[in-house]
Amino acid sequence: MEVLGIVGAGIMGSDLAMFFAESGYRVILNDRDAYRLAAAREKIHDRLTGYERKGRLDAMRMAELESHVETRENLETFSEADIVIECVTEDLGIKKEVFVELDRICRPGVILASNTSSKSITAIAAATKRPESVIGLHFMNPVRAMRLVEIICGLATTRETFETVKQIVKKAGKEYVESRDYPGFIANRILMPMINEAIFALYEGAGTVEAIDKVMKLGMNQPMGPLELADMVGLDIVLAILDELYKGFGDTKYRPCPLLKKYVAAGYQGRKSGRGFYTY
């Protein structure tokens, strides 16, 4: 496989584009928003410039990596892709629309992967005529630093598809786990209730933002506090995943904290909006 397509030029999409360019792929990064595409290109350039400044790569290698990422607004260009990873918003309806288009455009046998952190791979695959070639590839944020990838098979995903993406993940230097197709998979089924409980602790006045995060960092040896982590993930994303867990399992332990809902309604989405539990 040489050409890798990515749909969605947000935080994860742009990070994956740069990561796979470094891993030797020619990357086509797509987004229908021209401004977001330009911002992703600028972000990749700025990060590579930083690496050059620190002596981690030279000017020739920097130019080579930048040339490996093409930004395009038209999905039709994915007709040349060998594998496509979808990184659009955590909305099942939108994801299905993307997969219907990818199924129409991409060659038979091309693997269509979703970077979803909570949505059903089986449901996404059902929107296509190739459910056997649809799979979940849940990369963690930030992509370059986090070693783990969750691989999620849908009901119809073949072992051949699984083995192919497993080799892609290993070639890129990542570890993997195979997760079952349940809401939140493994990572977010465990992580999101912890974040939600930290928000409830703040909501109920058990401690300040700083105190709650300090307890988890110094008392539990976590690299980031749960509220700081929620800001990095995006409070809107945290809420969407908790809603999916609550809907999928029907268990009140996944009920999103009212404070989280209020923050998202106010536009406080974390780092990306400049305000979450912390101000940036």
Q: Rounded to an integer, what distance in angstroms lies between the CA atom of residue 220 and that of residue 14? A: 32
Indicate which residue of 114, 120, 179, 188 is catalytic.
Answer: 188
45 belongs to the catalytic site = no
Q: Which CATH superfamily is domain 189-271 in?
A: N-(1-d-carboxylethyl)-l-norvaline Dehydrogenase; domain 2 (1.10.1040.10)
pTM of the model: 0.91
pLDDT in tens, 146-186: 999 999 999 999 999 999 999 999 999 999 999 999 999 99
Q: What pLDDT is stored for residue 60 in this prediction? A: 87
Q: Identify the active-site residue in 86, 150, 228, 244.
A: 150
| List of residues 6+ apart from 144 with CB closer than 8 A | 15, 18, 19
Locate tokens 């709650």: which residue?
A: 212
Q: Is 74 among the residues known to form the active site?
A: no
What is the C-alpha to C-alpha distance for residues 232 and 253, in angstroms, rounded to an integer?
A: 23
Mean pLDDT, all residues of the chain: 95
Active-site annotation holder among 138, 179, 228, 244: 138
Alpha helices for the chain (secondary structure H): 11-22, 34-53, 59-67, 92-105, 121-125, 159-171, 187-203, 209-214, 226-233, 235-249, 258-265
Query: Taking a C-beta distance cutoff of 8 angstroms, is the pair 40, 17 a contact?
Result: yes
Which residue ranges make up each domain of the chain? 3-179, 189-271
Q: Write out pLDDT tens, residues 252-278.
A: 999 999 999 999 999 999 999 999 999
Query: For residue 141, what pLDDT is reported?
Result: 87
At 62 the pLDDT is 86
pLDDT of residue 261: 98
The CA-CA-CA angle for residues 166, 171, 177, to 5°, reads 35
Length of the chain: 280
Instruction: List, in sequence order, the alpha helices (H) in 80-186.
Output: 92-105, 121-125, 159-171
Q: In terms of Cα–Cα distance, which of 149, 144, 142 is closest to 179?
A: 149
On the question of pLDDT at 1 being above 80, the answer is no
- 138 catalytic? Reply is yes
pLDDT score recorded for residue 136: 98
- Please state, for a pLDDT cut of 90, what percent of the chain lies above it: 90
Sheet of 3-7: strand order equals 69-72, 26-30, 3-7, 83-86, 111-114, 134-139, 148-153, 175-179
Is 3-179 a domain of CATH 3.30.565.10? no
Are 44 and 18 in contact by the 8 Å Cβ rule? The answer is yes
Looking at residue 242, what is its pLDDT?
97
56-65, 204-213, 215-224, 237-246: least confidently modelled range: 56-65
Among residues 172, 176, 162, 148, the alpha carbon closest in space to that of 27 is found at 172
Per the residue annotation, which of 30, 114, 115, 117 is the catalytic one? 117
Confidence at residue 265, expressed as pLDDT on a 0 to 100 scale: 98
Average pLDDT for residues 187-211, to the nearest whole number? 98
pLDDT at 227: 98
The whole-angstrom separation of Cα 226 and Cα 243 is 18
Q: How many Cα atoms occupy the beta-carbon half-sphere of 49 within 13 Å?
A: 6
What does the pLDDT average to over 216-220? 97
Cβ of 160: how many Cβ atoms within 10 Å?
11
Residue 27's nearest CA partner among 55, 46, 6 is 6
Q: Give catalytic status of residue 188 as yes or no.
A: yes
Pair of tokens at residue 163: 């083995």
